[in-house]
Amino acid sequence: MTPTLHYRLRDVDEHTLLACDPPGGVRVVEAFGDVALADHIAIVVPGNGHHLGNYFTDRGPVSPRARGEQVLRMMTALASDERVAVVVWVGYRTPAGMASAFSNSYAREGADDLARLTHYLPRSAHLTLIGHSYGSAVCGLALPTARVDDCVAVGSAGMGVQHRDQLGVATRLWAAQTESDWIRFFPHGRIGRLGLGRPPLHPAMRATRFGTGDITGHCGYYTEGSESLRNIARIAVGRYDDVTPAGTAVPSAAPIENTADATAFVAVQA
């Protein structure tokens, strides 16, 4: 049985951590920005293959830390008059590969710890869960007991459940999937410990689908300057009327520069 995560803000080697397993463990939760005072907090939940062993050494554009910083920069650019923060939550034992991703055990084991994080964070903050790929199943299973305003699922294989009411009624559900994302071929449904349930874009899940611009594939949803990233950040700062629906032809804009205001919010630079 995986031990319960205990959340506490602390600075370790220039990183702001909320939780971390001892050496040899797999879980790590890092904060970017001042979560204690933030008006809006986005919680980024990655999918397969991420763990404490590669979390700080992987500096590629699809690493959880890089994605967290990209979300923070865009949130800051869109809501420069408000305080924003991002938590990168690798707080579960992620599947190592495609075969193990058919099991929902990893998501079920992590869901309670993810839900508990939402109650640890300031009650005054607007909270958004952002789950990519397998991470969206962890988000879905956490929602019934979590305190979350919005849940964003991108490139989702399934939300861990079969029906919308199993996600609770207090959270707005948003979803995006590119036409070229191979995840659309992932088998749907759930039988016992196998399967990740229905994807968020199934009609029964009643998610609001948003546009991704010109990104392609399974790993491009956080691409710098993309309409996908802008829409994720718009949801995370509560700019719902600005979210563009799927099918809207919006080209990617130039990447957001690291302004002084944005830099001030970024606790750690990759």
The whole-number pLDDT of residue 169 equals 82
pLDDT per residue over 17-27, tens digit each?
A: 999 999 999 99
- Report residue 137 as tokens: 């199943």
First to last CA, the chain: 33
Cβ contacts of 254-262, under 8 Å, gap ≥ 24: 254/225, 255/224, 255/225, 256/73, 256/74, 256/77, 256/224, 256/225, 258/73, 259/76, 259/77, 261/76, 261/80, 262/72, 262/73, 262/76, 262/77
Q: What is the pLDDT of residue 25?
A: 95
Per domain, the residue ranges of the chain are 10-257
pLDDT at 251: 56
**pLDDT at res. 93:** 95
CATH, domain range 10-257: 3.40.50.1820
Extract the residue ranges of the chain whose pLDDT is less than 50. Answer: 254, 256-270
- Max CA-CA distance within the chain? 50
Strand-by-strand arrangement of the 172-176 sheet: 10-12, 15-20, 28-32, 84-90, 40-45, 126-132, 150-154, 172-176, 208-209
What pLDDT does residue 180 have?
Answer: 95
- CB atoms closer than 10 angstroms to residue 236: 29
The structure's pTM equals 0.90
**pLDDT score for 248:** 72
